Amino acid sequence: MDDIITLDYGSGGRKTSALIEEIILPAFGNSALNAMGDGALIPGAERLAFSTDSFVVTPLEFPGGDIGKLAVCGTVNDLAMCGAQPKYLSLSLIIEEGLPAETLRRIVLSAAAAAREAGVQIVTGDTKVVERGRGDGLYINTAGIGVVRYPGISPEAMRPGDAVLLSGTAGDHGTAVMLARGGLMDGEVKSDCAALNGLAEAVLASGANVRVLRDPTRGGVATTLCEFAESAGLGIELNEWDIPVRRSVAAACALLGLDPLYSANEGKMLCVVPQEAAQTALEAMKDHPLGADAAIIGRVTEGRRVTLNTRTGGARVLRKLSGAQLPRIC
């Protein structure tokens, strides 16, 4: 690690991993934390999952969402990716002096609407106000509890030959935030911010024998799949032509020098299932409104790296995001 913490350590890529492995885990390591899932499965508790997340996105409001909706959906999704039914959330606000009350009201109402849509209740929380210039408007922390209905979901369950599915288009959220931050508002590029518990339930209940679920947030699809491969000690082979990317997102990424495979989503999930269950899982996704653009994008292999078969006939090795392609996107 470097001597000081830079923005790169919040990217969700290699430096985030180093921060966790060299500072966090040695201090707090235990069986629940060491599993490094989207949420913790609580030892001794009957099928209980617990997750927390903090949100520092800028701007606070962006096409397709805002920090309030993002905070609720983010924690709901982390619980859903554990095979849990999200039930209760906390929501804490760190407000900078000078934030317009009407902005705060819009964001809180948006969070409330997202909670209702996801079927969860916000049952506790906290508020703090910091001096002007010390908080960048608003930060939010959420935590959530859910009941595990589908145990055993983990990258370690993956097997060679398994199919890899993505529930929709890659890179939507990160690209939308980048455009909004630069004042380049594009009506066609919107965040995909959404609660995924309904979609996850549909796939899990389909009988597809889901190995692992994960929403590809910071670091995008590429970094998340690299984490899968690293945890399982296996490889993943992807086909570039099978990965759905909106034309508007691809064009914006080309303009901004971004790679949509490393740009965050906040309303998509990656899913690994046995090859013989791939069509079952795909149909379950496509039957849900949030999975209309779902696709089978690759397969698990014996190797220990993630590769992308390109449209030009070559192959590209994908690694965890290095540095911060886009800081503070969630």
The answer as to whether 251 is a domain residue is yes
Give which of 93, 11, 66, 13 is closest to 177, Cα–Cα: 66
Residues 223 and 136 occupy one common structural domain: no
Full-model pTM: 0.94
The tokens for 119 are: 């079927």
Range of the domain at 281: 155-318
In the three-class reduction of DSSP (H, G, I as helix; E, B as strand; rest coil), residue 171 is classed as: coil
* Count of domains observed in the chain: 2
Lowest mean pLDDT among 137-146, 170-179, 182-191, 259-268: 182-191
pLDDT tens track for 25-63: 999 988 888 888 888 888 776 689 999 999 999 999 999
One domain for residues 291 and 256: yes
Contact 310, 238 (CB under 8 A): no
Query: Are 53 and 88 part of one and the same domain?
Result: yes
Would you say 185 and 179 are in contact if contact means Cβ atoms under 8 Å apart?
Answer: yes
Q: What percent of the chain has pLDDT over 90?
A: 80
Please give the average per-residue pLDDT across 128-142, as a whole number: 95
User: Which domain-ending residue is among 86, 114, 148?
Assistant: 148
Strand pairing category for 163-166 and 84-96: unpaired
- The answer to whether residues 236 and 301 touch, using CB atoms and an 8 Å cutoff, is yes
Task: Indicate if 311 and 169 belong to the same structural domain.
Answer: yes
Residue 38 main-chain phi, psi, to 5 deg:
-65, -25
**Does 9 map to a domain?**
no
pLDDT(323) > 70: no
Pick the more confident residue, 137 or 188: 137
Q: Is residue 13 part of a domain?
A: no
Examine the fold and report which residue of 148, 165, 190 is the final residue of a domain before the chain moves on. 148
- Judge whether 293 and 244 are in contact, CB under 8 Å: yes
Q: Are both 46 and 143 inside the same structural domain?
A: yes
Per-residue tokens: 126: 């906290």
The answer to whether residue 19 sits within a structural domain is no
Q: 221 with 131, same domain?
A: no
Q: Are residues 133 and 159 in the same domain?
A: no
25 in any annotated domain: no
Residues 6+ apart with CB under 8 A from 63: 176, 179, 180, 185, 186, 187, 189, 190, 191
Specify whether 112 is located in the same domain as 173.
no
The answer on 138 and 41 residing in a single domain is: yes
113 token code pair: 């609407």
Give the pLDDT confidence of 148-189 residue by residue, as tens digits: 999 999 999 999 999 999 999 999 999 999 999 888 766 789
216 three-state secondary structure? coil
In the block, residue with structure tokens 């906390």: 90
Last-in-domain residue among 118, 148, 178: 148
